[in-house]
Amino acid sequence: MDDNADRILIFTGGEVSPDVRRGLGDSLKSAAVQASEVAVSTVQGNLCHFLSSLDTILSASPTEIGGLMLDEVEIHAQIDSKGSVGISGVVGAQVAVQGGIKLVLRKKLSAS
């Protein structure tokens, strides 16, 4: 049996703290791609927890806003080098290699 069958490769940018970023050199270092192997079960568990948390947040959200119906929610999530899953956020301009998960949630259509 292949030892890597229960592991997944995750590609991430190098991590330079935003507090110490000084210029283009640090931005380019943060864009350098690194790979790490993470257990599939770790990513699976973290993704399930993330989706469960989204369910809690969205189920308490209003279905109408300003007379408009909320029909679709698009969420961009990232997986870090340890397999943690979270909502993507970008502060300021960054030079980085980014990939992730795009989740599009649509309301169920009522049966007529």
Which residues, 6+ apart, have CB-to-CB distance to 60 below 8 Å?
none
Query: What's the CA gap between 75 and 88, in Å, rounded?
Result: 8
Whole-model pTM: value is 0.66
Tell me whether residue 69 is in a domain. Answer: yes
Number of structural domains, the chain?
A: 1
Tell me whether residue 111 is in a domain. Answer: no
Tell me whether residue 76 is in a domain. Answer: yes
Query: What's the CA gap between 86 and 80, in Å, rounded?
Result: 8
Tell me whether residue 1 is in a domain. Answer: no
Tell me whether residue 110 is in a domain. Answer: no
Between 14 and 51, residue with greater pLDDT: 51
Interval 11-30 mean pLDDT = 60
Tell me, what's the pLDDT at 31? 59
pLDDT-based confidence at residue 101 (cuts at 50, 70, 90): confident
Q: pLDDT tens-digit profile of 31-63? A: 567 888 999 999 999 999 999 999 999 889 888
**Torsional sign, CA 89, 65, 102, 40:** positive
Tell me whether residue 2 is in a domain. Answer: no
Domain of 48, in residue numbers: 7-105
